Chains A and B, each alone.
Chain A
Amino acid sequence: MSAVVYEMKKSLLKIMREPLGALGISLVILMIFSAIFADLIASADPSKISPRDRFLPPSFDHLMGTDQLGRDLFARILHGGRIALAVALFTTAVSLIIGTVLGLLAGYGPRWLDNVLLLLFDTVKSFPTVMLALALVTLFGPSLTSVIIVVVLVNVPGYARIIRTQTLTLKSAEFVTAAQSMGASTMRILRVHMLPNTIGPLLILVSMDIPVVIAIEAGMSFLGLGVRPPTPSWGAILNDGFTAIRDTPWIAVAGGLPIILTTLGFTFLGETLRDIFDPRMKRR
């Protein structure tokens, strides 16, 4: 256990040494922290409607002003972070599991299965993301579930492809052949020899994908196809601001700012992680 902690400490130090990585990880920690402690940081209730306080500009009482229903925008932004974070974590976990299974099947299974799966991945990728989202919303209706299905569909091919490539290269590696000749079962080979070797590239892809997930959730909620009101979501706040953009620009600013900061934070972190752990992919 202490070895793991030591490794993590070492990686963290490496990240902090890069200016971009330090900025990225600070933004990410700030986002996670403010989402977890949203109740403590913002005392106002994010869903409390008070008609008398409609469209108030930013002040000490309302750090980011109020929206068209008089709700405190600062509190809504912080609670919106919870939705964004929850969606990002949940969908990434689900996509990882499905992607890993499909990738292992494609890489280690029979040839025809590999071809069928690759074709399916290509087909899913051949829908432009927004079109896929719009098509699926007609089927499932606007909801958080639709957002999750869209994100998982968009993410799985990427994860599965990485696992498949890794599996294919490892399949003919000597230590795998050795394990096979010693009579190890397929499950054991996959679990002990294949999976651990795919984790590195996968983690980098995850950190690069989280901003995409957050953008999809915010984008769909912005179009009114994602999280339903009155649940606070950054995209929905941005849409409120867009509707009133001429008279009360601070709502749009408040809705966009966390989206920009979070996507930048995760992307910077992902870039740094890639430079540190995968020197082959490092930008020259």
Chain B
Amino acid sequence: MLKYIFNRLLLSIVIVSVAQFLLFTMIYLIPGDPAAVALGPRATEAMRKTLEIKMGLDKPLIIQFWNFFTGAWTGDLGNEVLSDRPVFDVVLEQLPYTLALIACGMTWSIALGIPLGCYAAVRRGGMVDRLIGVLSVGLIAVPSFVVAIYAMLIFAVSLQWLPAIGAGEQGQLGDQLIHLILPSLAVGLGWIGYIGRMVRASMLEVLEASHIKTARAFGLPDRLITYRYALTIAILPTITLLGVGIGQMLSSAVFAEIVFARPGVGKLVYDAILTRNYPLVTGAVLVTTVLFVFINLLADIMIGVLDPRVRSRL
């Protein structure tokens, strides 16, 4: 078990390092001198030189890479161009908004996906099962930004039930939650379909197992068998999927934040690109990538703990 965790951890560290290397290459390849871009066209030569030394651009390439590489592991991602604040702090400030959005999106997809999958598995082959099947595929297929805009159009603009933009008043939990409903629906809708399918498939497998047959033979009520004995086992494979899900929701969250004008890491990167604030772009991309790798690592370890068969595969 320890060996499995160690291997996974090592792989994650290597992946993040390669990602760092790619990001560094990317900044280096961006046309134009970073210092000149940061200062704008009216900067003097002297100003440019000072900033270059401050950003470490005067050192040889290999040293620059080493500084970027080691700095990132200690949380030093350099300073952003506009306000000269540490990139790491700026990203950490925005991260809770994105995480809250993903958590709520996950809540939507779990709360609706699991019952949907269970229901379909119990009514296997029936009309309801087929309809849920089509619905799941449909939910998975439609891109989240279209969902976001249509949700805004229907619930915020036409019906005016929910607010369209912003994250709500600071410190007022109720208001913030209301502002989360539509964006998180847009983030989580597709995953209702994924979780529904996954739960259905593993439920069908579990419902055939002998302990379920025994429970039936004892005459336990169907509802108890489905939710108490079958679902608790059938839910396990879904957990690994949740790791992937959180990662993909990170992508949807970017769109949701932009459409609903919410603060968050996605909006941060988007705005940074428009203002050519490159240190902020690479820093934020690196932080989200680390987060993504870390979540997948957690999911892998969790499934390794739960399912001994997986450990031997790596």
Residue of A at shortest CB range from B29?
A139
Residue of B at shortest CB range from A268?
B137
**Most chain B CB neighbours (cut-off 10 Å) among A123, A260, A284:** A123
Residue of A at shortest CB range from B249?
A128
Q: Are B247 and A128 in contact (CB under 8 A)?
A: yes
Q: Are B269 and A267 in contact (CB under 8 A)?
A: no
What residues of A have a CB within 8 angstroms of the CB of B143 in the complex?
Answer: 215, 218-219, 259, 263
Top 8 nearest A-B pairs (CB, nearest first) are: A267-B141, A215-B143, A130-B251, A123-B18, A128-B250, A130-B254, A256-B146, A263-B141
Interface size on A, residues (CB 8 A): 43
Q: Are B255 and A219 in contact (CB under 8 A)?
A: yes
A267-B140, A283-B197 known; A256+B19 contact, CB < 8 A: no
B278 interfacial contact with A, CB 8 Å:
yes
A238 interfacial contact with B, CB 8 Å:
yes
What is B's interface to A at a CB cutoff of 8 Å?
A: 11, 14-16, 18-19, 22-23, 26, 29-30, 133-134, 137-138, 140-143, 145-146, 149-150, 152-153, 157-158, 197, 200-201, 204, 247-248, 250-251, 254-255, 258-259, 266, 269-270, 273, 276, 278, 281-282, 285, 288-289, 292-293, 296
What residues of A have a CB within 8 angstroms of the CB of B22 in the complex?
Answer: 123
A139-B30, A241-B149 known; A130+B266 contact, CB < 8 A: yes
The dominant DSSP class at the B interface is helix
A131 interfacial contact with B, CB 8 Å:
yes
Residues 116-128 of A, flagged 1 when their CB comes within 8 A of B and 0 if not, give 0001101100111
User: What is the CA–CA distance of A20 and B22 in the complex, to the nearest angstrom?
Assistant: 42
User: What is the CA–CA distance of A29 and B158 in the complex, to the nearest angstrom?
Assistant: 33
What is A's interface to B at a CB cutoff of 8 Å?
A: 20, 119-120, 122-123, 126-131, 134-139, 211, 215, 218-219, 222-223, 225, 238, 241-242, 245-246, 249, 252-253, 256, 259-260, 263-264, 266-268, 271, 283-284
A-B contact pairs, 12 of them (CB 8 A): A119-B14, A123-B19, A131-B289, A134-B254, A219-B143, A225-B273, A241-B149, A245-B149, A245-B152, A252-B150, A264-B141, A283-B197
